[in-house]
């Protein structure tokens, strides 16, 4: 396992290098600059600001300087928030995005696995068709549509939950549902397919013939193999839930990292965009590595090599 983990981390070095390079030049090819939206300022002050941030240097020299600082773990200062560095902004805002992502993932697993298992135990019945129909609706409705609908119904009309903010438990319900609904639908369909395949295996029939209880068959024998498709999906799903909070945080005014990224994109805050992209790239790589390890643990036929 240690050799496998070390190999995967070594493979990520060129990947992160390519991501950093492409992102660096792409954000600078976008029209406008980090200070073009500001009020008209004298040219000499404009030159001083650009010199302070190193924007007066040739583009390739800026790239070399940034990569040198990146090797030291320094993501640079933020152009939008002058007194903050990108490292400080990420570490202050990411816990909120992580908390929201955990809520969304928990809801997705709870409702998705429950619906998938129930549908697999009673195939081609109402218990199968109803949750799978809801899952299809969940797949088709994007978060930027579901979020405002939940605000309209449960926030404004019924007043059960708050429509924006991140101060109390009522603030967290609608963002978590919006974020987790889409992935709950996929987990439900994957869980149903995986459970149906396992329930038709010979070892399940053998356990039934020996008189094993249904609960023991499901939870001890069927779930371990039936959840393999779900576990394979959890790597990109978890990354998608955390990074997908960009839209949800904007809709519900959640003070997470997603809002900083959106603000940085609009204001051409180069260093903040770069830092956020690299941070999430590392996070996705780590999550996929964890999923690969869990897959080997669940399926003895797989090996780390």
Q: Are 275 and 90 in contact (CB under 8 A)?
A: yes
Q: Is the pLDDT of residue 184 over 80?
A: yes
Cα–Cα separations (whole angstroms), residue 216 to 53, 127, 197, 220, 223: 64, 21, 17, 5, 10
DSSP-assigned letter for residue 212: -
Helices (H), 122-227: 126-140, 143-150, 169-199, 202-209, 214-216, 223-226
How confident is the model at residue 37, as a pLDDT?
56
How confident is the model at residue 262, as a pLDDT?
78
DSSP-assigned letters across all residues of 215-280 = HHIIIIIIHHHHTHHHHHHHHHHHHHHHHTHHHHHHHHT--SHHHHHHHHHHTT-HHHHHHHHHHH
Q: Is the pLDDT of residue 90 over 80?
A: yes
Q: Is the pLDDT of residue 202 over 80?
A: no
User: Could you report the per-residue pLDDT of 233-291, keeping only the tens digit for each?
Assistant: 777 777 777 766 777 888 888 888 877 777 777 777 888 888 888 888 888 888 777 77
**CA–CA separation, 161 and 267 (whole Å):** 32
Q: 34 pLDDT band (50/70/90 cuts)?
A: low
User: Could you report the per-residue pLDDT of 231-246, keeping only the tens digit for each?
Assistant: 777 777 777 777 667 7
Fold annotation for 93-269: MetI-like fold (1.10.3720)
- The whole-chain average pLDDT of the chain stands at 79
* SS3 (DSSP) at 85: strand
Please state the rounded mean pLDDT for residues 123-146: 81
- Please state the pTM of the whole predicted model: 0.73
Q: Is the pLDDT of residue 150 over 70?
A: yes
Q: Is the pLDDT of residue 74 over 60?
A: yes
Per residue in 204-214, is it b (16+ CB within 10 Å) or e — as a string? beebeeeeeee
């Amino acid at each position: 396992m240690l050799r496998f983990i070390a190999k995967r981390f070594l493979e990520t070095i060129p990947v992160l290098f390519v991501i950093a390079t492409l992102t660096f030049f792409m954000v600078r090819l976008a029209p406008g600059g980090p200070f073009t939206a500001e009020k008209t300022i004298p040219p000499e002050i404009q030159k001083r600001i650009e010199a302070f941030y190193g924007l007066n240097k040739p583009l390739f020299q800026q790239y070399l300087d940034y990569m040198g600082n990146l090797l030291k773990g320094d993501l640079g200062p933020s152009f939008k928030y002058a007194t903050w560095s990108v490292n400080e902004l990420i570490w202050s805002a990411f816990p909120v995005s992580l908390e929201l992502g955990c809520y969304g993932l928990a809801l997705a697993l709870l409702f998705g696995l429950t619906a998938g298992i129930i549908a697999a135990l009673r195939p081609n019945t109402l218990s199968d068709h109803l949750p799978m129909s809801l899952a299809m609706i969940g797949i088709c409705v994007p978060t930027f549509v579901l979020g405002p609908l939940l605000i309209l119904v449960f926030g404004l009309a019924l007043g059960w939950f708050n429509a924006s903010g991140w101060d109390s438990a009522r603030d967290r319900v609608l963002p978590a549902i919006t974020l987790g609904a889409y992935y709950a639908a996929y987990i439900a369909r994957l869980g149903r397919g995986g459970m149906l395949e396992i329930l038709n295996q010979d070892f399940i029939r053998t356990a039934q013939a020996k008189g094993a209880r249904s609960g023991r068959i499901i939870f001890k024998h069927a779930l371990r193999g039936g959840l393999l498709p779900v576990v394979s999906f959890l790597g990109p799903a978890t990354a998608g839930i955390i990074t997908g909070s960009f839209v949800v945080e904007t809709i519900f005014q959640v003070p997470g990292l997603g809002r900083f990224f959106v603000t940085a994109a609009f204001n051409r805050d180069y260093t903040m965009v770069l830092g956020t992209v690299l941070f999430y790239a590392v996070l996705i790589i780590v999550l996929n590595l964890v999923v690969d390890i869990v897959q080997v643990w669940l399926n003895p036929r797989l090996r780390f090599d």
